[in-house]
Amino acid sequence: MPKINGNEIRPGNVLEHNDGLWSAVKVDHVKPGKGGAFAQVELRNLRNGSKLNERFRSADKVERVRLEQKDQQFLYEDDGQLHFMDAETYEQIQLPADILGDRRPFLQDGMTITVEFYESEALNATLPQKVTCMVVETEPVVKGQTAANSFKPAILDNGVKVMVPPFVGSDEAIVVNTETMEYSERA
């Protein structure tokens, strides 16, 4: 595995640190008036989700880990386990439902997601950036309501509440950004 200097750490990098695999969530480069510069890095453990703040000087060496990314097709959910199939090898794997966190409701039948593996261990799963959902319930359109930033609450077919523009009505398909969990556009 390649070693990198402490000042080369970027958000999203996966590091082997303190006998664990950590993802850099936030990186601030600090140059105090006295002493050498350092990177203040917020790390999240990929196995248990715990967080850690660490300082890395430019002379510090850390192991950067490359995760293998594989596309997996969602098959079904059973007893809190999500079952996926590799589109190339047709091998099936199962992952805990909480690997997707609060984005779990956006997982749809047959959807292809990206799973990141370290050796043979699945550490992270990512949904497509945009998902199409149906609006089940929302307030009716108020005629003449044209304020630029006016949004109204809506409940989607998966039970998630999002804010939508006033022109979106019930039984309408919209595209939701799964990273920000916000309305993106009409479908």
Please tell me the distance from the alpha carbon of residue 170 to that of residue 172, in angstroms, as a whole number: 5
- Alpha-carbon gap, residue 184 to 99, rounded angstroms: 24
CA geometry: angle at 35 spanning 34 and 36, to 5°?
A: 130
Q: Do domains 68-126 and 130-186 have the same CATH topology?
A: yes
Count CB neighbours of 140 within 10 A: 9
pLDDT of residue 172: 92
Residue ranges per domain, the chain? 3-65, 68-126, 130-186
- As a whole number, mean pLDDT of residues 72-99 equals 90
- pLDDT value of position 111: 93
Mean pLDDT over the full length of the chain:
88
* Mean pLDDT confidence for 21-32: 89
The reported pLDDT for the residue numbered 179 is 84
Pick the CATH number of 3-65 from 2.30.30.30, 3.10.20.30, 1.20.140.10, 3.90.1640.10: 2.30.30.30
Cα(67)–Cα(118) distance, rounded to whole angstroms?
5
**Tell me, what's the pLDDT at 124?**
83
Q: Minimal CA–CA distance to 44: which of 30, 28, 16, 25? A: 25
Q: What is the pLDDT of residue 148?
A: 62
CA distance 6 to 43: 13
Give φ, ψ of 114 to 5 degrees.
Answer: -105, 125
pLDDT of residue 99 exceeding 80: yes
Task: Say which CATH architecture domain 68-126 belongs to.
Answer: Beta Barrel (2.40)
pLDDT average, residue stretch 44-59: 88
Summarize the confidence of residues 28-33 as an average pLDDT: 89
Distance CA 78, CA 76 (A): 7
User: What is the C-alpha to C-alpha distance for residues 177 and 31, in angstroms, rounded to an integer?
Assistant: 36
pLDDT in tens, 142-152: 666 665 667 88
How would CATH label the architecture of 130-186?
Answer: Beta Barrel (2.40)
pTM of the model: 0.74
Q: Which whole-number Å values give the CA distances from 55 to 51, 65, 144, 173, in the listed order? A: 14, 19, 54, 46
**Whether the predicted pLDDT of 186 surpasses 70:** yes
Query: pLDDT at position 131, please?
Result: 93
